[in-house]
Amino acid sequence: MKYNPEAVAALRPDYLGFIFWEPSSRFFSGEIPSLPKEIKKIGVFVDATITDVTATIEKYNLDGVQLHGNESPDYCLKLRPVRFSKPHRSIEIIKVFSIKDEFDFSLLRPFENVCDYFLFDTKGKLPGGNGYAFDWSVLKAYPYTKPYFLSGGIGLENKNDITEFLKRPESKYCHAIDVNSKFEQEPGLKKIAELKEFINVVSKL
CATH of the domain at 153: 3.20.20.70
pLDDT of residue 26: 94
Write down how long the chain is.
205
Over 88-110, what HEC string results?
A: CCCCEEEEEEEECCCCCHHHHHH
Residue span of the structural domain in which 152 resides: 5-203
What's the domain count of the chain? 1
Flag residues of the chain having pLDDT under 50: none
**Per-residue pLDDT tens over the stretch 59-112:** 999 999 999 999 999 999 988 765 555 555 678 999 999 998 789 999 999 999
pLDDT of residue 55: 93
Residues sharing a CB contact under 8 Å with residue 164, sequence separation 6 or more, in sequence order: none
pLDDT of residue 89: 64
Rounded CA-CA distance 166/79 in Å is 31
